[in-house]
């Protein structure tokens, strides 16, 4: 469960001025031709040689959530394999990486990230969710480029840390808009006991609901091992609640939704924050029928050329990940794609400073064509994500059906001040 919780969470920003960008891009001069033989630079950055750019990766090979995160590394392998074998590398250099197991532990992550930077001499870091919060401050102090999921509060406002998704400050109306589109007006909100990450997310969610005119009737703080789902179902029915939202994970939904059906209750808006995964459907489709799932990837049913490229790359470079249509694999793929894009923009003789300045200046990053819509990397690390892909499990529990014609559902910003006002915070 930790992985799903970490994904929902939301520092002085690094200003990327035009002069800084110009200095970074010209730091090594115009040496090199960009041919397959690699580029020679007078002064190489850490991890950069004539033939190679070496990155670091932290992920949980062991510990809680390790099975799920194998797909993250698979996505990394797929994107870098594509870059090296199909695209000729970056200015003739192959991208490689050294990795360490952070065991989903922040203290371990802090140690192994230092090892990768100081002992392995990597140019920058890719980080899977889990223990990544342990090294954020140190990596920012060292101005090390980092890509991954902005799933820890420490990612926010860090100019060196790149993600296509952050929770940000304030909120937006997307969640409330979704509930109203589905016909919901009275909500039960699920929170995870003892999780500050989910507390932050649920505050944003609550503001979105309230701004959209959705009443929050009940809030449930649950712990999976001891939660009485039957009692929750009884209360939802007794209070005429038509919406279930919050940190609703598949493990929660497969208990609550069948219990509600046994009581003759079919919610108008049963909304999950994760579960758009063929494996989840295969294992629990019957229990999850009619559930609506909010996610940050383009629906697979669109079958775009970019999605086909991703699936082909997964089959070639990470065949052990099946099915490959999982958002965790996409997270890894996009994390690697951010580095590919940043290295292209940084020029033939990349430096960490040039990479950060150039990538932070990108205003239409497309995430390999796998995310709902392009994002502005120059601002997204300060703003809450406001656009989502929405799919529904069909009434038979056998397939996902994109809603809103497979187009992203986007909300309007809610300022931090307005959010506090809605939540009654002085």
pLDDT on residue 194: 57
Q: How far apart are CA 411 and CA 319, in angstroms?
A: 37
The 10s digit of each residue's pLDDT in 117-146 is 999 999 999 999 877 788 999 999 999 999
pLDDT on residue 13: 33
Q: What is the pTM of this model?
A: 0.82
Q: Identify whether the C-beta of residue 160 lies closer than 8 Å to the C-beta of residue 126.
A: no
Enumerate residue ranges in the chain where pLDDT < 70.
1-39, 42-43, 193-198, 224-226, 426
Q: List, in order of start, the domains of the chain with CATH numbers.
A: 2-165+302-361 (3.40.50.2300), 171-295+386-422 (3.40.50.2300)
Q: Identify whether the C-beta of residue 108 lies closer than 8 Å to the C-beta of residue 127.
A: no
For residue 251, how far is the Cα from the chain centroid? 20
Q: How far apart are CA 51 and CA 18, in angstroms?
A: 29
At residue 324, φ and ψ (nearest 5 deg) are: -80, -15
Q: What separation in angstroms does the CA of 302 have from each of 273, 325, 369, 407, 412?
A: 20, 12, 11, 10, 25
CB atoms within 10 A of CB 215: 12
Whether the ω angle into residue 413 lies within 30 degrees of 0, i.e. cis, is no
The 10s digit of each residue's pLDDT in 231-273 is 999 999 999 999 999 989 898 999 999 999 999 999 999 999 9
pLDDT on residue 165: 86
pLDDT on residue 344: 97
């Amino acid at each position: 469960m930790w992985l799903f919780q970490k994904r929902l969470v939301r520092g002085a920003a690094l200003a990327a001025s035009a002069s800084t960008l110009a200095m970074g891009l010209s730091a090594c001069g115009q040496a090199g031709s960009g041919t397959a033989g690699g580029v020679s630079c007078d002064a190489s950055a850490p991890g950069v040689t004539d033939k190679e750019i070496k990155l670091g990766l932290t992920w949980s090979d062991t510990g809680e959530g390790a099975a799920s995160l194998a797909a993250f590394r698979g996505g990394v392998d797929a994107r870098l394999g594509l870059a090296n074998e199909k695209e000729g590398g970056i200015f003739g250099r192959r991208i490689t990486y050294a990795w360490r197991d952070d065991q989903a532990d922040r203290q371990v992550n802090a140690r192994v990230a230092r090892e990768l930077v100081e002992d392995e001499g990597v140019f920058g870091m890719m980080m899977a969710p889990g223990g990544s919060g342990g090294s954020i401050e140190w990596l920012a102090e060292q101005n090390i480029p980092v890509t991954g999921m902005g799933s820890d509060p420490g990612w926010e406002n860090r100019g060196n840390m790149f993600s296509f998704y952050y929770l940000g400050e304030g909120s937006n109306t997307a969640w409330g808009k979704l509930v109203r589109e589905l016909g919901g007006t009275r909500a039960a909100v699920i929170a995870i006991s003892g999780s500050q990450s989910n507390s932050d997310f649920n505050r944003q969610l609550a503001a979105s609901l309230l701004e959209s005119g959705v009443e929050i009737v009940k809030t449930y703080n649950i712990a999976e091992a001891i939660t009485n789902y039957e009692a929750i179902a009884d209360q939802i029915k007794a209070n005429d609640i038509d919406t279930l939202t919050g940190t609703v994970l598949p493990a929660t939904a497969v208990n609550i939704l069948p219990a509600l059906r046994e009581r003759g209750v079919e919610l108008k808006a049963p909304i999950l924050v994760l579960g758009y995964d063929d494996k989840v459907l295969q294992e629990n489709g019957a229990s999850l029928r009619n559930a609506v799932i909010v996610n940050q990837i383009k629906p697979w049913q669109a079958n775009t050329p970019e999605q086909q490229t991703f699936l082909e790359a997964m089959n070639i470079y990470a065949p052990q990940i099946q099915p490959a249509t999982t958002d965790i694999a996409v997270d890894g793929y996009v994390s690697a794609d951010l580095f590919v894009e940043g290295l292209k923009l940084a020029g033939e003789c990349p430096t960490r400073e040039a990479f950060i300045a150039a990538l932070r200046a990108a205003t239409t990053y497309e995430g390999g064509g796998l995310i709902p819509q392009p994002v502005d990397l120059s601002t997204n690390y300060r703003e809450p994500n406001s656009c989502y892909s929405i799919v529904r499990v069909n009434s038979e529990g056998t397939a996902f059906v994109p809603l809103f014609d497979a187009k992203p559902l986007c909300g309007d910003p809610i300022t931090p001040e307005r959010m506090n006002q809605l939540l009654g915070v002085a």
